[in-house]
Every structure is written in structure tokens, then in C-alpha cells.
Chain A
Amino acid sequence: MNRILKYVILDIIKNKIVIFYTILIALFSWSSFSLEDNAAKGLLTLLNIILLTVPLVSILFSTIYIYNSSEFIELLVSQPIKRSKIWYSLFAGLAISLSFAFILGAGIPIIVFADFSKAFIMIVVGIFITIIFVALAFLSSILSRDKAKGIGASILLWLYFALLFDGLVLFLLFQLSDYPIEKMMVIITALSPIDLARILMLLQLDVSAMLGYTGAIFKDFFGTQFGLLLSFLLLLLWIIIPFFISLKKFKNKDL
């Protein structure tokens, strides 16, 4: 496994797109911190950018990478290696290298500008989002042999989590505005990793106190140690479930 992982990581690091992604995210981060007059606001601006670009790049790059290395995978399958090992290594390689790109690009300015606890959570959230969307990419690329379909599915997934889900939530809110749905909303956030990450981060930034009654409910839930632990656990589930579905499919797939 270690050797495959090494090849994958080396291959990705050589890839120009990952370098470009690192530089892009670094530019975003440095500029959003220097544009805003205080670090908390810079962090908020950066949060918006990260929650939009990181999932997009992670899911698209991973999908394309898996399709492009289909020959490499076929070659490996013909060797006496377990299939799960191949899939694990591919996943680990992608996750590690993209997380590394994120830490290099956004992590450094975040640590430089923001105070430690907020910076820590922000970076952890960023890494989680990266890995979750790599896992989703594995799922969408295993579902279809056709590259165009797979990439299409990835883009749709990204669009759904970044945009459509919020639209649906807004629609639900209006439909159910006569009912006390605040607590239910807490559960609904768990259905989108991006929303979960955003609220986790907002609560760290103390903007939550401005959110009024709903904010208070979120704070009661996510602000506690238990809530924090639970939401990280949920993020972890968002990695595990799509990846293991894809793993199961890969094991039985006729390549």
C-alpha cells in the first residue's frame, strides 16, 4: 500500500493543476486577510471562498484523476494486490495531497492572521471538506464507466451542496414557517457538509451571538463540547459513507 500511495502522491504533486490550486487559494487567503481591517472579518470572507472553491476543486480534480488513472488501476488489479488496498491508496493519496495543498495555501495565512483556536478549527474544517469531497468524487466516478457522466455527476453534487441545498432549505423554511422548526433545522444542517462546516465556523467567530433566537439554539447545540464532537463525527460520516459505498462497488466491479 505504501508504495502505491507514494506513486499516487508523487504523481499528483507533479500535477500543475494542484500547484495552481495551491497558489490560487493562497492568493485568496492573503488578499482576504489584507483587505479586511480585522482578522475575524478576514476569516469570514475566507470562509465564503473556501466553502465554494475547496469542494469544487476537490471533487472535480479527484473525479478526473480517477478516470485518468483507470489504466493504472487496471494494471494494479492484474497484480497480486487486494482491490481494497488499491482503492484505499488512491483515496489516501488524493486526500493527503489535496489537504496538503489546502494547508499550504490557506493554512499558513490563517495561522498568521487569526488567533489559534479559530485558526485550528478553520483548518480542520477545511481539511474535512477537502476529504469529504474527495470521497464524494470516488462515489460519483465509480457509479459510471463514462467519464462525461462521472464528471457531470460530480459537478451536480457540488452544485447541490453549494447552492441547491440552501435553496431547498429556504423553500422548506417558507413552507413550514408556521411551525416551530428551529430544532429540526439543526438536524437538517447535518445533511449538507458545507452547511455544517459553515455553521461550525460561524459559531467560532462569535457572529452567532448576533443571530438572535435561532442562533441561540444553534449555539446551545453546536457550541457545546458535545455538539462540537458530534458535528465532527457527522463530518467524519460524510467521508466514511460515500467512500465505503464506492469501495464496495469497486471490489465487485468488472473493470
Chain B
Amino acid sequence: MRNYYLIFITILIGCSIQAKTIYVGKSGNYTRIKSALQNVNNGDTVIVSKGLYKEGNIIINKSICFLGKDFPVIDGDKKYEVLSIKASHVVIKGFKIQHSSYASLDDPGGIKIYESRNVTIEENLLSDNFFGIYLQYCSACIIKNNRVISSGKQEQEIGNGIHCWKCDSIQVIGNKIAGNRDGIYFEFVTNSLIWRNISFDNIRYGLHFMFSNYDAYFTNCFTNNGAGVAVMFSNHITMMNNTFRENWGDAAFGMLLKEISDCYMAGNQFRNNTSAIFMDGTNRIIIEKNIFADNGWGMKIQANCMDNVIKHNNFMGNTFDVSTNGTLTLNEFRENYWDKYEGYDLDKNKVGDIPYHPLSLYAVIVEGNPPAMLLYRSFMVSLLDKSEKVLPSLTPDNFIDKQPLMQAIKL
């Protein structure tokens, strides 16, 4: 009987509320977005045609579909937050949103979503905003196929591309993000997915996690950022099939892992970074089937990392495969391929018969004494490294891969 009631009520609601479509533009029902928004109800669709709309801060507080036709431009004039969404079930699609104000107190954004659910931001162009897309206290939102491009020069002058604060179940998919402070920033965000984004030329990090647990990022590309990805103070993060390229500089890392635990990392590619992975206070993470190629340092593992397993990775053409700052070794390396391995395989089981020491003496020296980089590739250094390989005396002797592979793994 209850079910019948429900169906009846649904039909009743369906009849009583007729979703209408409102056109904004020169030939539409309204010429201004704000006046159109004053006359909408939940479930309506607002279609904005091409043009420049400078109307200060536009607030959407009904569950509407807000669509742009041929990318109408909404301009914040560098004085206002451009679009504020304060309702659930809103769709924003097809706008060019530019020139939000700049303020470090209330963090204005191109699109800012306040305490809402099920908001979809799709196929928008956000250029030169302080923050691109800002979500606070939101859940089940989708940020898809947007382009967030800024041209910040200094960290304090520019906000993040996509910024999520205290959110849950967010999907960030297929966005292109450049020139912000952090490309994507997650703080206190749980159960969320970051998939197929391209984040490049950002001042600080391509992707930044803080206190965010149970998240995953797949198949993203991080190029030429201050650091590719920083995962800090988080746990249970899954990182797969991402590409980290050309993150150059002294404090630049492909991936920076700080105080994180219980994560899984697989199938990533690290190429041409100063340091591919920097691990500090990282516990119980599994790193497998990744490619480390042509980096300055393959992995920098600080001595405060524990119980990490590094297996089935390819290390090729790195200046230093691994480096560490202490003698304590609590991590496990096994069955990786190291192109610098010079051992043999008599029983032909494709696993080297003698263990590989990934830590070269010179790597240890440089870690403790950075100016020693001056001697990089000098004859003296190669001599030292060779003698250390034969008789390890200064490098920790348990820092080894007992079963180094003879051939690179096909990944």
C-alpha cells in the first residue's frame, strides 16, 4: 500500500511542477543572468547564449541546469567571486568563467560550491581566477572535462585549480589544469576519485593531498610542476597508471610522500624528474610495476620509512636508482629490474644469482654532502663506486634486492 502512495505522490509532483527552460541573451527571455535566476524554480533549465556577462557575483540557490551555448563569458571583473552555488543538484556546463577577485581571507573562486550535493561542473573554461573550482563541505559532486588555466607567477598570488575542502565522494575527471598554485588540492576529502586529468606547469604541486583518506587517482598526467604529486598525512590512497614527467628543480619531485601509510602504487611512469619519488615517514605502502626512467634519483627513501615493499619495478637510466639518509633499512626490495645490475644468472631462471645493491656509495656521499655533486661522472667517483660494489663497507649491507631480474619487465 505504501508503494502505491509513493507512486501517486510522484505523479502528483510531476504534474504540479513543470520544469521550464529559460533563455538568457539578446534574443532570450532575459538579457541578464541575475534576473533570470530570480525567476527560476527547482528543476528548471537556464540556457545562456553567447556574450559577455559582467554581473558581479552570481549566486545559484535553486537546483537548476545552468547551460552555456557557445561558451558565453561570465566575468568577475577582478572584483567578485564569479559563480557561487548554494544548492544541490545543480549542473553547470559550457561557460567561460574568468577574472574572479583575489582575496586570501575568503578564497573567492571562479566557481565555488557551498555545502551542496550532486553538483556537476562540466566542460567549462576557467581562466585567470584566483581559485578555479572550489568545493567546500560538498559530496557526490562531479567535476568533469573542464579546463582550468591561470598564469600565476608566485605561490601567494594564485589559488588552486580544483580545490576540495571537507568533501566526500567527489569525482574529478578529464580536466586540464595549468598555471595554478596546486593543480588539484584535496584537504579532508574522502572516498574520491581523480581520473584522466592533465595537470601541468603549476607552481607548487600537480596534485596535493592533505589529510585525505580512501581516495584514488588513476591515469593522470603530471608534467613540469613544482612537484608532480604530493601526498601528505593521508592513508589508503591508490595511485595507478599515472605519468610523472619533467618535474625539475631542487625541491621538485615526481611524487612526494610524507607521513602516509597503507597505500598502493602501481603502473605509474616516472620520466625525467629530478627525484621520481621522495618518501618521508611513509609506512606500509606497496610500490609495484612502475617505470623509473631517466630521473636524477629514482627513489629517495628517508630512513624513517618502514615496511614498504618495492617489487617488480623497472629502474632504467637513472643517475641514482635509490638514495637514503641513514643506515637503517626497514623496507623490502625484491624482483625489480635494475639496468645497472652487473650480476649473472647461471641457472637461467631470469633472476640474478647475486643480490643487487641499489645504493651506490656516491649516492650516499651526495645525500650527506650535496656539493659532492661537483664530482659527478668524474673518474674518481666511478672508481669509488666500483670498489664499493665489490666490497660494500660504507653503504648499509642489508639494503639489497635479493632477487634482481635479468630483464626489464614488460609494462
Let me know if B248 is at the binding interface, CB within 8 A: yes
A214–B373 alpha-carbon span in the complex (Å): 7
Q: Which of B373, B378, B383 contacts A212 (CB 8 A)?
A: B373
Contacts of B371 in A (CB 8 A): 173, 181-182, 185, 214
Contacts of B383 in A (CB 8 A): 163
Contacts of A51 in B (CB 8 A): 378-379
Let me know if A123 is at the binding interface, CB within 8 A: no
For the residues of A in contact with B, the DSSP-based class is: helix
Provide the A47-65 mask, 1 if CB < 8 A to any CB of B, else 0: 1100110000000000000
Tell me the minimal C-beta distance from A77 to chain B in angstroms.
40
Known: A174-B369, A209-B274, A216-B250. A189 touches B374 (CB 8 A): yes
A213–B367 alpha-carbon span in the complex (Å): 12
Let me know if B409 is at the binding interface, CB within 8 A: no
Q: Which of B248, B250, B295, B319 contacts A213 (CB 8 A)?
A: B250
The answer to whether B296 touches A210, judged by C-beta atoms less than 8 angstroms apart, is yes
Let me know if B14 is at the binding interface, CB within 8 A: no
Let me know if A148 is at the binding interface, CB within 8 A: no
The answer to whether B369 touches A173, judged by C-beta atoms less than 8 angstroms apart, is yes
The answer to whether A212 touches B250, judged by C-beta atoms less than 8 angstroms apart, is yes
A182–B296 alpha-carbon span in the complex (Å): 19
Question: Of all chain A residues, which has the CB nearest B319?
Answer: A210
Tell me the minimal C-beta distance from B115 to chain A in angstroms.
44
Known: A166-B381, A173-B369. A212 touches B274 (CB 8 A): yes
Contacts of B248 in A (CB 8 A): 209
Let me know if A125 is at the binding interface, CB within 8 A: no
Contacts of A199 in B (CB 8 A): 374
Let me know if A96 is at the binding interface, CB within 8 A: no
Let me know if B317 is at the binding interface, CB within 8 A: yes
Contacts of A188 in B (CB 8 A): 374
Sorting the interface of chain A by its residue count into under 10, 10 to 19, 20 to 34 or 35 or more gives 20 to 34
Contacts of A143 in B (CB 8 A): none
Contacts of A170 in B (CB 8 A): 365, 372, 375, 380
Let me know if A229 is at the binding interface, CB within 8 A: no
Question: Of all chain A residues, which has the CB nearest B381?
Answer: A166
The answer to whether A166 touches B274, judged by C-beta atoms less than 8 angstroms apart, is no
Question: Of all chain A residues, which has the CB nearest B246?
Answer: A209
Chain B stretch 91-136: residues in CB contact (< 8 A) with chain A: none
The answer to whether B379 touches A166, judged by C-beta atoms less than 8 angstroms apart, is yes
Question: Of all chain B residues, which has the CB nearest A213?
Answer: B250
A162–B274 alpha-carbon span in the complex (Å): 28
Provide the A150-186 mask, 1 if CB < 8 A to any CB of B, else 0: 0000000000001100110110011001000110010
Q: Which of B250, B297, B374 contacts A169 (CB 8 A)?
A: B374
Question: Of all chain A residues, which has the CB nearest B382?
Answer: A48
A41–B293 alpha-carbon span in the complex (Å): 13
A195–B381 alpha-carbon span in the complex (Å): 12
A166–B380 alpha-carbon span in the complex (Å): 6
Contacts of B379 in A (CB 8 A): 48, 51-52, 162-163, 166
Provide the B150-166 mask, 1 if CB < 8 A to any CB of A, else 0: 00000000000000000
Which residues of A line the B interface, CB within 8 A?
Answer: 41, 44, 47-48, 51-52, 162-163, 166-167, 169-170, 173-174, 177, 181-182, 185, 188-189, 195, 198-199, 202, 207, 209-216, 218
Which residues of B line the A interface, CB within 8 A?
Answer: 248-250, 274, 295-297, 317, 319, 365, 368-383
30 sampled A-B residue pairs with Cβ under 8 A: A41-B317, A44-B377, A47-B377, A48-B379, A162-B379, A163-B380, A166-B378, A167-B380, A169-B374, A169-B375, A177-B368, A177-B369, A181-B371, A188-B374, A189-B374, A198-B377, A198-B378, A199-B374, A209-B248, A210-B295, A210-B319, A211-B296, A211-B373, A211-B376, A212-B250, A212-B274, A212-B373, A214-B371, A214-B374, A216-B249
Besides the contacts A52-B379, A170-B372, A212-B370, what 20 more A-B pairs have beta carbons closer than 8 Å?
A41-B317, A48-B377, A51-B379, A166-B375, A166-B379, A166-B380, A166-B381, A169-B374, A170-B375, A173-B369, A173-B374, A177-B369, A185-B371, A185-B374, A188-B374, A198-B378, A202-B376, A209-B274, A210-B296, A218-B374
